[in-house]
Amino acid sequence: MKIVDLRSDTVTKPSPEMWEAVKSLDNRMIGDDVEGEDPTVNELEEKAAKVIGKEAALFVTSGTQGNLVSLLSQTNPGDEILLEELSHIYKNEVGSAARIGGLMIRTYTSNKGVPSFDQLQKLIRDRGDIHEPPSTLFSVENTHNYHGGGIIRPEVIKDMKEFSHKNDLKLHLDGARIFNAAVGLNVPVNEITKYADSVMFCLSKGLSCPVGSIVAGSKEFISKARKFRKMVGGGMRQAGIIAAFGLIALEPKWINRLADDHKNAKILSQGLKNINLPIKVHPTDTNIVIIEMLENVRILKIITALNKAGILAFNISKEKIRFVTHYGINADDINYSIEQIGLVLKKNL
């Protein structure tokens, strides 16, 4: 049976060119990265810093680890940080900011990841008041996963920077899918990242590496983050073997390939809209399509029925199902998905 795996862009596997790069490694090109001696990791970190437009970068095991070391490096235990209420750091990183960082979390509401700055201002603590913890970091997610891969535009990130500066906050950008934002807007990625003090992006999502993420920022920030990475078990020794995939992933050709995923997501979204069903198809900017049930349904029943029809997807709430396009999904898969999702929904709604 045909299976179309639309659960996440994390299910992607490396391209032939990536495998070639890994196969061409030899022992001279790997070393102990905890000692800074892995030439391939060093090359990846230099390349990543250049591409993302920051002084320095650090190869980390995952996006979750990258966000955590970014928070640890820019805050102190007992500080309060501002996270969007549906952000990955708040919802899906096992509360590490609180448990490991000793941080208080204050969530902000938003319109697709963008807060009202007036509302946000009310959340900032009074440093002069002896009773209050200091607010020290503001985090933004771009593209925003739970808001359907929505893009936050550079001028809005600039406003966030100004807000952060005014309130003496560090600005962290969870850019797990920041290249989707750049490709979606057709702007160089540093147009978006230049306003952030720290950026995390994933190699293992749309860029289709098997493992790894990058944290980037000033040299001072990265030297702190390197130490925290060690603390949380991210010292990976001969990690050049996995960093080699990333060197190919950061080539412009591979970054621009994300446009195919966006095109497929648009076709999927339009195809689902064209079927007359009691669902809302949320607008899609990039590679994530969210549908929302308008009737009271058992969502897991629908997910199971989709799985039986060969369409793999996750429900992200009791009403919403998320489909993610990625490397390995082609136009035929999309047409098949539209047809099968339509049949399953018609039968189950």
Ligand X SMILES: Cc1ncc(COP(=O)(O)O)c(C=O)c1O
List interacting residues with ligand X (CB under 6 A). Answer: 10, 62-64, 67, 88, 141, 145, 174, 176, 202, 204, 213
If the CB atoms of residues 68 and 281 are measured against ligand X, the closer one turns out to be 68
If the CB atoms of residues 70 and 340 are measured against ligand X, the closer one turns out to be 70
Amino acid of residue 211: V
Strand arrangement of the beta sheet that strand 279-281 belongs to: 279-281, 288-293, 320-324, 314-315
If the CB atoms of residues 13 and 346 are measured against ligand X, the closer one turns out to be 13
Tokens matching residue 87 = 């952000």
Asked if residue 192 lies in contact with residue 142, where contact means CB atoms within 8 angstroms, the answer is yes
Q: Which residue number has the CB closest to ligand X?
A: 63
One DSSP character per residue, 293-318 reads ESS---HHHHHHHHHHTTEE-EESSS
If the CB atoms of residues 212 and 271 are measured against ligand X, the closer one turns out to be 212
- CB of 213 vs ligand X, minimal distance in Å: 6
Crossing angle of helices 258-274/178-185, nearest 10°? 80
Strand arrangement of the beta sheet that strand 104-108 belongs to: 56-60, 213-217, 198-202, 170-174, 135-141, 80-84, 104-108
Closest by CA position to 56, among listed 225, 300, 305: 225
- CB of 170 vs ligand X, minimal distance in Å: 17
Other C-beta atoms within 10 Å of 234: how many?
22
Crossing angle of helices 219-231/63-74, nearest 10°? 120
If the CB atoms of residues 146 and 271 are measured against ligand X, the closer one turns out to be 146
If the CB atoms of residues 63 and 184 are measured against ligand X, the closer one turns out to be 63
- CB of 110 vs ligand X, minimal distance in Å: 14
- CB of 204 vs ligand X, minimal distance in Å: 6
The residue count of the chain comes to 349
- CB of 64 vs ligand X, minimal distance in Å: 3
